[in-house]
Structure 1
Amino acid sequence: MGKRIRAQRRGSSPKNRVSSHRFPGESRIPRGVEEVATVMELVHSPVHTAPLIRVRFEDGRETHLVATEG
């Protein structure tokens, strides 16, 4: 296959870039043993459809989790 011709390149729109500075942090579920954690705050995330919660575990680690209903 050949390359796109110049007129096709000029007609294309600019590439969509995600502004990563708006992300509150990485949201991941800790794997392994069940642990006890305290909810510190609810965080609005423009990237996720659900709010995030910032939790602190008993050993001092903090992470973001997706806030579940219930």
Structure 2
Amino acid sequence: MTGTAASGSSRQSDSFFPQARDGQQATGYARLTLPLGPRPKRIDCSRIYEMEIARMRREMELLQMAVQDK
């Protein structure tokens, strides 16, 4: 609804908000997030990935050594 208590609704608003036909309706939603304060430090994921790969390689070497000893 547009307008004020004194003037009522404006007929121009009908051109901006057409009435739904045949019972069809549409709804939209948007969300905007703005961070406040200083930018947080980011974790260097590539370094963590490399450390995990090295750990898995060491684990595989130990498993291979265990299999060879049997």
Would you call these one fold, judging by a TM-score over 0.5?
no
TM-score by length of 1: 0.24
Q: Which is helix-richer, 1 or 2?
A: 2
| Greater relative contact order structure (CA < 8 Å, 6+ sep) | 1
Q: Which is strand-richer, 1 or 2?
A: 1
Higher Rg: 2
TM-score by length of 2: 0.24
